[in-house]
Structure 1
Amino acid sequence: MIDVELVRKLVAEQFPRWADLPVRPVAVGGNDNRTFHLGDAMSVRLPSAEGYVASVEKEQRWLPVLAPHLPVPIPAPVAQGRPGAGYPWPWSINRWLGGETASHATVTDLSAFAVELAGFLRALQGVDTGGEPAAGRHSFWRGASLTHYDDETRKAIAALDGRIDGGAATREWDRALAAEWHGPPVWFHGDIASGNILVRDGRLAAIIDFGTSGVGDPACDLVISWTFLDAPARDAFRRALGVDDAAWQRGRGWALWKALIVLAADGSNTEMERQIRLILG
């Protein structure tokens, strides 16, 4: 179990200079990783399963490279832990980033927020690291072709027959697959979602959780257009980011895939049903 006691043991064993600092869970936890406060200025981040372990070294290596080029803070690694105290994987200690999780209650102007977010993504895409780390298994195929999830998506559409418009979903998915990416590989975050965005006084303050990041097709970072933004903010986001029709269609495909598989797994998730209706128009 990944809990406060485990974190205390790991820190005491490997970083005794911080052993006296209090450890407590963060208010909004994640699924891929478990995060805890370490004192007031640091956080501890532990992968929750083996599939997420690759993100530790990736973030340790690349976040310091990206940070100077970005308009708002991102996690800053302080130390990397090793397996211990019965925990089998590497883990991270980062600087704590303050702010509130983005929500419709904490963002005061959604269109202005969308433009700020587009500015962050433009800056991220502009960082040249020689094509590394290329999209792949470590990014859960974010930044790669949607074809990696073709079979899963079609099975979800079939499983939801009668609950959603399967024909419309299939046509939308086919259009996304046909809108192939031919541009140069650029940095993408991979999970631009409200839970990974911090705001302060209603404004964009920080972006966290780069576990699915990499270099490839940035269309996966458009998903927030349908999961969080309203119609005016969606338009402002697309204009500010300068997204062409093909990339926009692939972004719709990424959003559709995620909503379909989540709804197929949890039929009570009405938010995913709402998102599917929005995507299908």
Structure 2
Amino acid sequence: MALMPAADVDITEDLVRRLLAAQAPALAAEPLELAANGWDNAVYRLGSTRAVRLPRREAAAELVLREQRWLPGYARRSPVPVPAPVYAGRPDAGYPWHWSVIPWLEGTSATQVSPEKRTPAAEQLAAFLTAIHVPAPAAAPVNPVRGVPLASRSAAVLERLEDTHGYPEAARLRSLWAAALEAPPHSGPAVWFHGDLHPANVLLRDSPDGPAALAAVIDFGDLGAGDPAVDLAVAWLMFDGAGRRRLMAAYSAAGSGQRGGWERGGWERARGWALVLATAMLSNSDDNPVMLETGRFAVRQLLRP
């Protein structure tokens, strides 16, 4: 059984209150409620308008520092809210890593909305990606497993596909992967990306113009600079055929010049990234039904004719 990574530090309400009391005492009396306990971070809702986000593993500690430094720039460019930190916490009270107070963003996780009802958000998500996919400075962080050349992820993907019980369509998926590796590499400048864009990190809201609209994008711990195709994997991770066509058309039509060389193999690489992320979810989420179903959905989409 493949499970989520174990926590290196147990994140409890008492720990969060001690950190707030030591560094942000004006917030320490606000109600606290555990909102999420993911692979990398625990999130506690703080009152009605804020949340506290804390790494639960040492491997994620650097990601919070990355968010604290760079996410305010994303927030200035984004057409929808993103959780830019409003307070940057430090190691304290027996807790070894940096942590953040962030805005609490209202919305319904796209994982709780049927794929066909996600479709109206496709153009809005494309507009979000167009806005953040701008050339990054030389000092921008490089994520070693996201936005890099696809070939660097080949060993991991092929190892997962050796599990023919978990992947009964492994032969077709290996062919898909081989085709993605043949796509021309990203030839433009390194651009900013989200790095972990899937339905659990997208919030939707009801809209008078349709069943759902984009409300916010969350969890930027994997942000970095490189090939934006990693984010376009969301076309398979979140949408069915109708939504995927709408997202692809909107993204292709907007801002292609600033991304430099996007259309030259971009969607083929995005399809490869969808396989990278889907297999990571399927091979490591036996105790996380939401991620497991997201991976299954993406594989079904990838295998559609």
The within-5 A match list for 1:194-233 is 194-201=199-206, 202-233=212-243
The aligned counterpart of 2:28 is 19
Q: CA deviation at 1:96?
A: 1.9
Aligned to 2:42, what secondary structure does the other structure show? strand
Q: What is the CA RMSD across the aligned residues, in angstroms? A: 2.4
Unaligned runs of 5+ in 1: none
Counterpart in the other structure of 1:255: 274
User: Aligned partners of 2:48 and 2:112: how far apart in 1?
Assistant: 27
CA distance in 1 between counterparts of 2:131 and 2:293 reads 34
Deviation at residue 106 of structure 1 after TM alignment: 7.6
- Deviation string 1:224-249 (CA, Å, 9 cap, x unpaired) is 21222111110010000116361111
**2:143 match:** 136
Q: Would the aligned equivalents of 2:204 and 2:215 in 1 still touch at CA under 8 Å?
A: yes
Give the count of matched residue pairs: 276
TM-score (norm. length: structure 2):
0.82
The 5 Å alignment of 1:110-259 reads: 110-126=118-134, 128-137=135-144, 141-160=145-164, 163-179=167-183, 180-201=185-206, 202-242=212-252, 244=263, 246-259=265-278
SS, match of residue 189 in structure 2 = coil
Could you tell me whether the CA contact under 8 Å between 1:81 and 1:92 is conserved in 2? yes
Give the AA of the match of 2:191.
Answer: V
Shift in Å, 1:120: 0.5
- 1:53 is paired with a residue of what secondary structure? helix
Query: Does the aligned pair in 2 maintain the 1:132–1:214 contact within 8 Å?
Result: no
* Structure 1 residues 187 and 159: CA distance shift in structure 2, 3 A: same
Distance 1:258 1:207 in 2: 18
Q: What per-residue deviation string (whole Å, max 9, x for no partner) do you get for residues 113-167 of structure 1?
A: 10110000001113x4424424233xxx211112222111111112226942333
Q: Using the alignment, how far apart are the partners of 2:271 and 2:52 within structure 1?
A: 34
Identity across the alignment (%): 38
Q: 1:10 aligns with which of 15, 19, 38?
A: 19
Instruction: Report matched runs for 1:28-107 at 5 Å.
Output: 28-103=36-111, 105=113
Q: Structure 1, residues 192-251: CA drift from partner, whole Å, max 9, x if none?
A: 111111122221111111100111101111222122211111001000011636111111
SS class of match (2:214): strand
| 1:74 counterpart SS class | coil
Q: Which runs of 5+ in 2 are unaligned?
A: 1-9, 207-211, 253-261
